[in-house]
Amino acid sequence: MSQETTQVGDNVASAYEELKEIGAAPLWRFYGNLFRKEPLSQAVPYHWSYERFRRSIEFFTGVMSLEEAERRVLMMVNPGLQDPPATLTTLFAGLQTIMPGETARPHRHTSNAFRFIIDGTGATTTVNGEVVEMRPGDLLLTPGWHWHDHVHAGDGPMYWLDGLDYPLVNLLEGSFAENLDAPRQEQTVPTGLSSRMFTHGRLNPAFLTPAGQSSPIGNYSWEQTQATFDAIGDDLEGSRSDGIILDYVNPWTGGPVMPTIGCRIARLRDGFVGQARRTSSNMIFHVVEGSGTTQVGDHSFTWQRGDTIAVPLWTWYRHMVAAGSHATLFSYTDEPVRRSLGFFREETRED
């Protein structure tokens, strides 16, 4: 190697070192990582067992008061997202419980949230002054910066799936939170009024005006969900990938229930074998009833009632239900964000 070539090499190395000193970096060295051919998530496909989660949370219920815990929640932590803990890069799932006689004090946060009730009766949540009842299969909304507390005046434990967008909010550095200096909110709205006003097809109260970007409905009841499935019956095949799948809709916009989270529920018929599908959105599936198998990437998860499955973005998934049985799957996704930014894509394939 000539002396001139050596000198040029030394000068180049020195120039790269100087870039660090001035707070710069050469794009050409990072181009492939910054502009990828397709999305690559740190999250991995994963399956959480309701039976095992419930046993664990029952133990902590016996040794830890609600006052100590603030909210008695077991997080569903993805192996690829340990620090900070999250279920997917933009979404969170957790199992929460409240016992008879307990009150989870009011707080609020900028993260949007919902509760999908799994087991128990007799508890209520109060959201911005409206008392909303909890029953299995109900979807309860807590939009961002809404006060909410939980009270259990019934018998036996309550269990529900918590869904939030806090991983996305924290990524955007948009998190604010506040506790109310009172054990409970004051009720300022008749119990269940939002559901009674809005969940009647397309008959919306014309005397009200929209407030905020989220749905005004406090509780999308299982009773009405079941009635919709029954009304459709066997007259339609539905989606080849997701069966008879229904959107929970914001009555003001006809769009998703919250600006960052879209919620759906699907009925998979006897012997359903879905077409493989992938999208550019993160998805979390929760088993409302039945049993089956979902292939996610290279993984095959056998699930039953109460279980939860994480499907990272741009990962192939396919649902299957055994002959002689059917299943119902609740799901939520960050699709509203992806669509609003023009990032949403989807593909299907024949297997």
* pTM for this entry: 0.93
Q: Is residue 14 part of a domain?
A: yes
Question: What is the count of structural domains for the chain?
Answer: 2
Name 5's Cβ contacts closer than 8 Å, sequence gap at least 6.
none
Domain identity same for 2 and 124: no
Domain identity same for 161 and 26: no
> Which two tokens mark 155?
């018998």
pLDDT confidence of residue 173: 95
Domain identity same for 97 and 236: yes
Question: Which amino acid is residue 192, in one-letter code?
Answer: G
Domain identity same for 1 and 144: no
- Domain hosting residue 18, numbered range: 1-34
Domain identity same for 322 and 239: yes
pLDDT confidence of residue 350: 85
Domain identity same for 52 and 22: no
- Residue 85 and residue 131: Cα distance in Å, rounded? 31
> Which two tokens mark 108?
């609020």
Q: Is residue 202 part of a domain?
A: no
Domain identity same for 340 and 255: yes
pLDDT confidence of residue 92: 98
Domain identity same for 92 and 115: yes
Q: Is residue 290 part of a domain?
A: yes
Domain identity same for 334 and 253: yes
- Residue 259 and residue 249: Cα distance in Å, rounded? 11
Q: Is residue 314 part of a domain?
A: yes
Q: Is residue 254 part of a domain?
A: yes
Domain identity same for 124 and 16: no
pLDDT confidence of residue 201: 74
pLDDT tens digits for 192-235? Answer: 999 998 877 778 899 998 888 999 999 999 999 999 999 999 88
- Check which CATH number belongs to the domain holding 323 and give it: 2.60.120.10
Q: Is the dihedral of CA 240, 242, 244, 248 positive or negative?
A: negative
Helix%, strand%, coil% for the chain, nearest 5: 20, 30, 45
pLDDT confidence of residue 6: 59
pLDDT confidence of residue 4: 52
Q: Is residue 246 part of a domain?
A: yes
Q: Is residue 212 part of a domain?
A: no
pLDDT tens-place values along the chain, 351 residues long: 555 555 655 788 999 999 999 999 999 898 888 888 999 999 999 999 999 999 999 999 989 888 888 899 999 999 999 999 999 999 999 999 999 999 999 999 999 999 999 999 999 999 999 999 999 999 999 999 999 999 999 999 999 999 999 999 999 999 999 999 888 999 999 999 999 988 777 788 999 988 889 999 999 999 999 999 999 998 888 999 999 999 999 999 999 999 999 999 999 999 999 999 999 999 999 999 999 999 999 999 999 999 999 999 999 999 999 988 899 999 999 999 999 999 999 999 987
Domain identity same for 147 and 187: yes
Q: Are 314 and 251 in contact (CB under 8 A)?
A: no
Domain identity same for 162 and 249: yes
C-alpha distances (whole Å) from 56 to each of 62, 74, 84, 338 are: 10, 8, 21, 35
Q: Is residue 39 part of a domain?
A: no
pLDDT confidence of residue 31: 84
